[in-house]
Amino acid sequence: MNAYYSTFNTDNTIACRDNGTEIEAHGRGLYTGVAVAMVIDVLEVRGGFELRKASNMNNGEVKYRLLWDGECVSTLTNEREAFALLDDFAPIPKKRGRKSKAA
């Protein structure tokens, strides 16, 4: 017997069935999808690292993401900590100084 034909009676469980032509999901409850409106600002790019500010327009939450070659290295909620982490990975040259868009 295939596990997909199992029947669940618990209220918070979803059972999947495959009858050979289509896969169906059965269960109780309601799923309401909510689109998340995000605004992404690039704060600074240095030494292969990129610091981005991601603002969620639905709930006002702000996260700072440090990326290295397009991969997220860390996600923080504090701007100072995010810049400090960027400084740890890619220090600022002494003569250059910080030229950031962030205030």
pLDDT tens column, 19-55 = 666 665 556 666 566 677 889 999 999 989 999 999 9
Q: In 49-94, which ranges are continuous DSSP H helix? A: 79-89
Residue 101 lies in a domain: no
Q: Are residues 23 and 65 located together in one domain of the fold?
A: no
Task: Judge if 27 and 51 occupy the same domain.
Answer: no
What lies within 8 Å, CB to CB, of 51 at 6+ separation is: 42, 43, 44, 45, 64, 65, 66, 67, 82, 83, 86
Residues 65 and 83 in one domain: yes
pLDDT confidence of residue 73: 92
The structure's pTM equals: 0.58
* pLDDT value, residue 54: 94
Asked if pLDDT for residue 85 goes beyond 60, the answer is yes
Domain extent for 26:
1-32
pLDDT above 70 as % of the chain: 57
In a domain, residue 103? The reply is: no
Which of the pair, 66 or 98, is modelled with greater confidence? 66
Q: Is position 100 within any domain?
A: no
